[in-house]
Structure 1
Amino acid sequence: MSSPTVAILVRTKDRPRFLSRALENIAQQTFTDYTVCVINDGGDEQATRAIIEASPLGLQGSDAQGSGRVQLLTTAGGNMEAASNAGLAATTSEYVGIHDDDDLWAPEFLERTVAALEESGALMCTTRIVERYERENADGEFEVYEERIFHDGLPGMGLQFLFRTNRAVPIGILYRRSLHELVGFYDESLPVVGDWEFNMRAASVADILLVDEPLAYWSLRPDAEGSEANSVKRQADHARFDSMVRARAIREDLQAGAQPGAYLYQAHLAADLERRVIDGHDLTRDSLDILRSIESRLERIEARQQAIESRQQSIEERLRVLKHLRAPGRALRSFAQRSLNQRSQARRGAEAGSTGEKGA
């Protein structure tokens, strides 16, 4: 019986919801010539077995028909790279993919990546990877609240990019098993960043092919706690072991006869750049302080202007009231004046008539 084309290694530890989701996700692949090895990395073996048996893929040897596709392997736990190496030793295949329990593939992932490797002859390929941010809702289900492309716009996965930081995570990668004959296996001395270190070794012997489609989903849960979290401690471990990998590479280069001048100059450039960045931050902070002061003054001026406008409106309103009050007074004075004039005329007329009668 020939070996399957792809061996899928699923690393897990006491995360039943994610493992169940991962196995269902693998079962949806349009490319089906694969075997699955679940590496239970120090977790509850019976619970893991039950999840596999209940999955669409089933556990190897768990039924009379032998239809189960998943091999269960339990390790001591605590080291992801050791788990990967154990899974490699327990399987045979032409290609290898690592599908951690909380990550996901698009249904066409294996179909596209297997075709890309076969057509190109490349040793390793990666797809575009989607950062998938999720959180637990009130019903206890994880829902996605943001998605974005990991290192969007990156033209490839060469060493010039990997030297700066890891540009691909395991869920987006498929590679030939024969690559291990050239660069060795995963470094079990690294509890984290082992995938980055392995990717650099792979890129040192051949180009890493980019399949320019978003076919892999890297799940992140910043708000989660416990075994389902991406913890702060884990981030600190990444920084520490990242530094360790770099220091080891420099040390090996120096021991091989390299001179420290280039490293010293690069360190000088890095320190100079850091100083310039800090100076830029200081200048930005000072500029923001000035802008905040100007904004505060403008707000006070605006408040005073509004107060003046309010007083002006009040004065204008009072003037309108006084104007209305004066209008009836003028009418009364005019009426009184006309009445007086009429009475004066009447008296003069009466007096004139009386004088005429006396003369007759």
Structure 2
Amino acid sequence: METPPSAPRVRIVVRTHDRPQLLARALDDIVEQSYQEWQMVIINHRGDRATLDDVVKARADRFPHECLIVDSDHPIGRDAIIGLGIADADTEYVAIHDDDDTWAPDFLTRTVSWLDTHPEHVAVAVKTDIIQERVDQDGVIILSQTPIRPPFARVSLFDLVHAAHVPPIGYLFRRSAIESAGGFDATLSVLGDWDLMLRLAVDGQIGYLDGETLAYWRQRPQSEGALANSVIGDLDLHRQTDRELRDRALREYIERNGIGGLLYIARYADELYAQSRHEAWLRAREVEAHVTERIEEQTKHLEAMIAQYAHHYSVFPSLRRAMSRVFHPRRGGYS
């Protein structure tokens, strides 16, 4: 009698939309993980289901647990649909694996081990590389690979307020922490991961695995349509949503604390900036005056040298002519 498989500890949520070539690579990446106690949920957002089924069936015998597929044609944002894959999860951990990103084979092994030994952490992030690539009929061509690292090799609330330094592919989340933080905001079309990370970081500490790169955020700057990245294709939308999220947070803060402190900080920062600019201007004038003085000194020295050499070379031809008369008298002599 076969031993029944153990219950999955990780739910992997895969978002996809009519990118079968990339989805196939993502599924191959997942089944090659050294850690196998996972269940996958594929969110098919307005994509062709028959094509997706073909990609999944070709690999289904390598899944440790049944793969769930959720068809979504909701008019909600790309980030919000992640919530559809987490809604009924009963696993300890959750990972977000977009169909165009990849992991190193030990990503799950390392991150699960970290959260197992750090129960106080709400999530753990890993070193991540940005890979720029081009996809065509011949396959995937890597154009560049650049590491991205959070400041001081840690994910802090201090730095998250500025920006998300690690993309979703570089995280493993504790499911209970996501629920406590309120989950993904279904109203957001983009930056839902950053919004969630801010709330998670308020609730608890986020670990960081330093060392080798374990995740790869893949981008296609030359691609359009389904193959494009939202962060590149919808740059204006990202900037607009960033402002909206900050405005929302400011309103919440002001409702609790009033606006006085913010007005003081804004004016104080403005005056510090103005003072710094004035000091920089004064220093620039000092440097300019010093440089001008040195140029004038060097110019006078150069003019003296030119005058000296000009005098030398104007006298030399006269001496040469005189010496020529002494040592080389006129030919023919006197009769």
Q: For each residue in 1:23-78, what CA deviation from the matched residue of structure 2 results, as whole angstroms up to 9, or x when unmatched?
A: 0000110000101111101211121111111135568xxxxxxx763211111144
Aligned: 1:234 with 2:234: yes
Distance 1:81 1:153, change over 3 A: closer
- Structure 2 counterpart of 1:254, which letter? I
Distance 1:227 1:273, change over 3 A: farther
Structure 2 counterpart SS, 1:123? strand
Higher mean alpha-carbon deviation, 128-137 vs 188-197, is at 128-137
Distance 1:54 1:29, change over 3 A: same
Query: Superposition pairs for residues 236-275 of structure 1, below 5 Å?
Result: 236-256=236-256, 258-268=257-267
Partner of 1:104: 102
Larger Rg computed on CA atoms: 1
Distance 1:173 1:68, change over 3 A: closer
**What is the alpha-carbon distance in structure 2 between the residues aligned to residue 45 and residue 272 of structure 1?**
59
Does the Cα contact within 8 Å between 1:36 and 1:71 map onto a contact in 2? yes
Partner of 2:13: 9
Identity of aligned residues (%): 33
Higher mean alpha-carbon deviation, 83-92 vs 43-52, is at 83-92
Query: Superposition pairs for residues 218-229 of structure 1, below 5 Å?
Result: 218-229=217-228
- Comparing both structures, which one devotes a greater share of its residues to helix? 1
Query: Superposition pairs for residues 336-347 of structure 1, below 5 Å?
Result: none
Structure 2 counterpart SS, 1:111? helix
TM-score (norm 1): 0.70
Query: Superposition pairs for residues 1-360 of structure 1, below 5 Å?
Result: 3-55=7-59, 69-77=66-74, 78-121=76-119, 122-136=121-135, 139-151=137-149, 154-213=152-211, 214-230=213-229, 232-256=232-256, 258-268=257-267
Does the Cα contact within 8 Å between 2:80 and 2:192 map onto a contact in 1? no
Does the Cα contact within 8 Å between 1:129 and 1:216 map onto a contact in 2? yes
TM-score (norm 2): 0.75
Higher mean alpha-carbon deviation, 50-59 vs 208-217, is at 50-59
- Structure 2 counterpart of 1:106, which letter? A
- Structure 1 counterpart of 2:252, which letter? E
What is the total number of aligned residue pairs between the two structures?
276
Q: How much has 1:239 moved relative to structure 2?
A: 0.6
**What is the alpha-carbon distance in structure 1 between the residues aligned to residue 70 and residue 118 of structure 2?**
33
Distance 1:22 1:267, change over 3 A: same
Distance 1:260 1:40, change over 3 A: same
**What is the alpha-carbon distance in structure 2 between the residues aligned to residue 188 and residue 198 of structure 1?**
11
Q: How much has 1:153 moved relative to structure 2?
A: 5.0
Q: How much has 1:230 moved relative to structure 2?
A: 2.6
Does the Cα contact within 8 Å between 1:128 and 1:216 map onto a contact in 2? yes
Does the Cα contact within 8 Å between 2:224 and 2:233 map onto a contact in 1? no
**What is the alpha-carbon distance in structure 2 between the residues aligned to residue 223 and residue 248 of structure 1?**
34
Structure 1 counterpart SS, 2:144? strand
Does the Cα contact within 8 Å between 1:126 and 1:208 map onto a contact in 2? yes
Does the Cα contact within 8 Å between 2:153 and 2:210 map onto a contact in 1? no
Structure 2 counterpart SS, 1:81? coil
Moved over 4 A (4+): 56-59, 269-277
Distance 1:270 1:19, change over 3 A: farther
Distance 1:58 1:264, change over 3 A: same
